[in-house]
């Protein structure tokens, strides 16, 4: 699978560990930065990740920052991206099954590497449930207010 991964400076170590782990599992990983721990602005990297989803260069995305909150908001500014903040595998599973999430966000200051791997595993293994969920997902992309 083609997976894009991006973070801010707070999540650089978690991002590197997940990227290596995903590559070792045979995935094509687009490492969207940053490359150092120097302070950066999470919206820049959230927008970059969302663009990779929107243009089709990545099928799924992993967004990381200190809490996961800020970068998830940035990713969700792009209508092609459906980013869910997760902290355990059930949320990652439901994000895919019910919401057709194509990006998950996690907080590096709140989650350990093993739990992050469990979330990513669930996220990548779960298919969208379709059916009654599809009309709701459609409304996420094209709100009818």
Quick one: three-class SS letters along 56-125? CCCCEEEEEECCCHHHHHHHCCCCCCCEEECCCHHHHHHHHHHHCCCEEEEECCCCCHHHHHHHHHHHHH
Instruction: Check 9, 27, 83, 98 and give the catalytic one.
Output: 98
Return phi, psi of residue 82, to 5°.
-125, 100
* pLDDT above 80: residue 144: no
pLDDT over threshold 80, residue 28:
yes
Mean pLDDT of 115-124: 98
Which has the minimum average pLDDT: 60-69, 92-101, 126-135?
126-135
Structure tokens belonging to residue 112 = 């350990």
Q: How far is CA 86 from CA 31, 53, 56, in A?
A: 20, 18, 23
pLDDT tier at 141, thresholds 50, 70, 90: confident
- pLDDT, residue 108, reads 98
pTM: 0.94
Average pLDDT over residues 109-116: 97
> Among 9, 27, 65, 83, which one carries the catalytic annotation?
65
Query: Nearest Cα to 101, choosing from 51, 53, 41?
Result: 53
Mean pLDDT of 13-39: 96
Q: Please say if 98 is a catalytic residue.
A: yes
Residue 120 confidence (pLDDT) above 90: yes
- pLDDT of 126 > 80? The answer is yes
Residue 65 designated active-site: yes
């Amino acid at each position: 699978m083609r997976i894009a991964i991006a973070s801010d400076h707070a999540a650089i170590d978690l991002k590197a560990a997940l990227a290596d782990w995903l590559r070792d599992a045979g995935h094509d990983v687009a490492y969207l930065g940053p490359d150092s721990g120097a302070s950066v602005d999470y919206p820049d990297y959230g927008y970059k990740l969302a663009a990779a989803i929107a243009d089709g260069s990545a099928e799924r995305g992993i967004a990381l920052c200190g809490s996961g909150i800020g970068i998830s908001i940035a990713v969700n500014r792009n209508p092609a991206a459906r980013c869910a903040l997760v902290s355990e595998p059930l949320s990652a599973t439901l994000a895919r099954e019910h919401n057709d999430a194509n990006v998950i966000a996690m907080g590096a200051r709140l989650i350990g590497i093993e739990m992050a791997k469990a979330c990513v595993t669930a996220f990548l293994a779960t298919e969208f449930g379709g059916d009654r969920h599809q009309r709701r997902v459609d409304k996420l992309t094209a709100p009818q207010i």
